Structure 1
Amino acid sequence: MVNGKEKLIVAIDTDDYEKAVNLIDSLEDSVDIFKVGLENYIASRGKTVDYLKSKGKKIFLDLKFHDIPNTMKSAVKAAIREGVWLMTIHVSDMEGMKQCANIAKEESERLGIEKPLIVGVTVLTSLSDNDLKDIGCDMNTQDLAIKRAKLAKEAGLDGVVCSAREVSKIVEACGKDFVTVCPGIRPASAEVGDQKRVVTPSEAILNGASVLVVGRPITQASVPSESANKIVKEIESVL
């Protein structure tokens, strides 16, 4: 039986380092993988990453690099030295993504460490079809996510970040070994918040998601560990 903890990533979305530490401590026995995004990374100046490493936790560094190829390549190279398990870049031009994939292999080999997974952000889960129209895109969220996933795979990335609503189509197009990281996960009883394309944990796993990213339903719960344990059990119930 697969351990549901291997499928759950908890997002540490706070600009307060002490709150982040307290949250990690409260979830130490319930969660193995944590996401550090822009908000916390900048506010803590990377200290949360160091704290997670001291606890032996896997780290998802979610900084969504998006720039010219050389800058993205250099950012990925620097992130490799942080010893993270997973990192994000935006699905952009083919050359930029290829350079990121190549430098990850080269730098990991040079350091003698396991290469972290690099996944491309397809379409943010806060965006709707109408939002895409507003910025001049004539594709819907699902079609655009699938197209970008195919580009990411062709460029040599390990997988993508996508909504669990389109993950089954992406698995069909890119294969089961292509990692799918799904944010916007909300238990049926949770508030949707600013997310627009949300799915429950069990639905996401059944759709083919590799790992789930859950934030507020766990981090803002009165007892975060209880909420995390419930989600782990829900994941395991459909594996």
Structure 2
Amino acid sequence: MVKAKQHHTTLSGGKTVKTIRSALFNPDFPVGHFLDPSEQEQLVAALVYYEMLKMDNTRMLPLASGGKTDIYVSIRESRNHAEAVAFLSDRYAMAMRRLKVNGIADVPLAVSNLSGSIQERLGIPAITIREQAKQGRATQGLIIGTTKPGEIIGLYDDVITDGESKVVPYRALTAKGLLPYLIVMVDRQQGWREKFAKLGIAMPVWAGTDLHTVRRHAIQTFGLMERCDPEMEQKNPFIVALDGMPWEKAQPLMDILRPTGAIFKMNNLLHNQERSHLVRDVHTYGRSMIDFKASDTPDTIYNTCMEYRKDPPWAVTVHANAGGEAVRAAVRAFEGTPTKVLVITALTSVTNDECKTIYHRIRSTEVKILAEIGIIAGCHGFVCSGNEVKELSKSYPGKEFVVPGTRSLGAEVHDQKNVVSHKDALANGATKLVAGRQFTKAPDPIVELKRVMTDELNIKL
């Protein structure tokens, strides 16, 4: 028998498991958002309707942290709408009720006007945290209100950005022996986790939604903002490779590069089980290239491609050596959508000698054979090296020609074996250029991408 006070127990095989009693009476702090997807959409609608959301396609809205943004959430504007106060109070109260807090406290001053309404809904005490302690009065200190050590306090605010404004309230509460849970309506996902870790702040945070979701609804659901100037999307030849990046790293990078009109290429991100609508989410920032390099039976490739029809990507990749029927299956799956099926000829990481070993032909000959398989199957274009694009573009005019691993002169080539410059690739017939680390690792990715477009490729922005 497992002792009731244990949180975990060890099985005979050495595996540690959580006990039933622990899961029932001592549950983990909730993960995810406290609003479900439809409620998050409703929240964005309310923020717009009650004038609590500012939007700017030029990304010049100032943040308290000193940065600029395209979206600014200002719940303090709820003071102008009694209905907004009720709407927000209902949602804050719902989250606090689930967390079983003993009292509430706001982070001054954005949401201070909601405290009475939330307190009324919950029937629990509310305390006030001063920004500075008052000396020489009966109520000295930072906290106004009666508390007991060990109580859980629902500390709430409109958003969390870098977390700086939460430090003083957290320390004031913990100094009194209280346990603060932070509830915010929007997580701006801009560094608070790192700051909390650096400062030793162990405060659970629960958000109703995140900035990405607010932006997605503003752009895709309600059409209130542009993803990017359509002319820029036509001008920009670059596909930015997000290889090896988790969503948490890729999303802010895509947001930075959104005004450039770049396409974003994904491979390992496709296996992120927490992103069930990955392509839809990426389309908030730009077009997508699903680089799954399909090489399987026709039925399997068809079924895989069908999973992407709901949010059609700009392109998918299929290995020509899977055979014409496999390529044709991908083309059939995307009929009626704008998605391009791009055939991979020979990987740019494969040398001429390796081609001889694998295919028993020199690389240039094998590329022609694989390209012809794609053409017969109805593909829309090719993924090929910069050394082969010139001949292919002459043989198959009007197709899309994507050249991976292009570089500025002098840049590192990494694992690519058939590398050309951005300028040479375009001159030889490439229609799109895949580049990753030159932009993703740059100190300022958008500055570097625009520099290459203007200085190296003579594209007028």
Check conservation: 2:343, 2:381, Cα contact below 8 A: yes
Displacement of 1:224:
0.9
| Alignment counterpart, residue 296 of structure 2, candidates 61, 64, 67 | 67
Closer, same or farther: CA 220–185 of 1 in aligned 2, 3 Å: same
Displacement of 1:5:
3.9
The superposition leaves residues 167-200 of structure 1 with CA deviations (integer Å, 9 ceiling, x where unpaired) of 011012222x111111011111210101000011
Displacement of 1:227:
1.5
Give the Cα–Cα distance (whole angstroms) in 1 for the partners of residues 361 and 427 of structure 2. 26
Give the Cα–Cα distance (whole angstroms) in 1 for the partners of residues 412 and 273 of structure 2. 27
Instruction: Name the TM-score, length of structure 1 as normaliser.
Output: 0.87
Displacement of 1:221:
1.1
Paired residue secondary structure (2:418): coil
| Alignment counterpart, residue 432 of structure 2, candidates 199, 207, 211 | 211
Displacement of 1:48:
4.5
| Alignment counterpart, residue 386 of structure 2, candidates 159, 164, 167 | 164
| Alignment counterpart, residue 444 of structure 2, candidates 208, 215, 223 | 223
Check conservation: 1:101, 1:156, Cα contact below 8 A: yes
| Alignment counterpart, residue 422 of structure 2, candidates 192, 198, 201 | 201
Give the Cα–Cα distance (whole angstroms) in 1 for the partners of residues 362 and 448 of structure 2. 33
Partner of 1:111: none
2:276 is aligned with 1:9: no
2:311 is aligned with 1:90: no
Paired residue secondary structure (2:259): coil
Partner of 2:374: 152
Paired residue secondary structure (1:160): strand
Map 1:1-239 to 2 at 5 A.
5-37=235-267, 39-43=268-272, 45-46=274-275, 48-55=278-285, 57-91=286-320, 92-105=322-335, 108=336, 114-135=337-358, 137-175=359-397, 177-233=398-454, 234-236=456-458
Give the Cα–Cα distance (whole angstroms) in 2 for the partners of residues 80 and 210 of structure 1. 24
Q: Which amino acid aligns with 1:30?
A: T
Task: List, as ranges, runs of 4+ consecutive aligned residues in structure 1 with deviation greater than 6 Å.
Answer: none
Give the Cα–Cα distance (whole angstroms) in 1 for the partners of residues 301 and 416 of structure 2. 27
Check conservation: 2:356, 2:363, Cα contact below 8 A: no
Paired residue secondary structure (1:54): coil
Q: Which amino acid aligns with 1:142?
A: S
Partner of 2:162: none
- The answer to which structure, 1 or 2, has the higher relative contact order (CA under 8 A, 6+ apart) is 1
Give the Cα–Cα distance (whole angstroms) in 1 for the partners of residues 273 and 251 of structure 2. 11
Give the Cα–Cα distance (whole angstroms) in 1 for the partners of residues 253 and 273 of structure 2. 14
Give the Cα–Cα distance (whole angstroms) in 2 for the partners of residues 75 and 163 of structure 1. 26
Check conservation: 1:160, 1:179, Cα contact below 8 A: yes
Paired residue secondary structure (1:10): strand
Partner of 2:166: none
Give the Cα–Cα distance (whole angstroms) in 2 for the partners of residues 206 and 197 of structure 1. 16
Closer, same or farther: CA 87–45 of 1 in aligned 2, 3 Å: farther
Check conservation: 2:237, 2:262, Cα contact below 8 A: no
In structure 1, the gaps of 5 or more residues are 109-113
Give the Cα–Cα distance (whole angstroms) in 1 for the partners of residues 428 and 292 of structure 2. 26
Instruction: Name the TM-score, length of structure 2 as normaliser.
Output: 0.47
Q: Comparing both structures, which one devotes a greater share of its residues to helix?
A: 1
The superposition leaves residues 75-94 of structure 1 with CA deviations (integer Å, 9 ceiling, x where unpaired) of 11212223211111111211
Displacement of 1:53:
1.9
Larger radius of gyration: 2
Check conservation: 1:10, 1:31, Cα contact below 8 A: no
Give the Cα–Cα distance (whole angstroms) in 2 for the partners of residues 126 and 45 of structure 1. 30
Give the Cα–Cα distance (whole angstroms) in 1 for the partners of residues 357 and 415 of structure 2. 18
Check conservation: 1:5, 1:232, Cα contact below 8 A: no
In structure 2, the gaps of 5 or more residues are 1-230
Percent of aligned pairs sharing the same letter: 28
Give the Cα–Cα distance (whole angstroms) in 2 for the partners of residues 146 and 116 of structure 1. 24
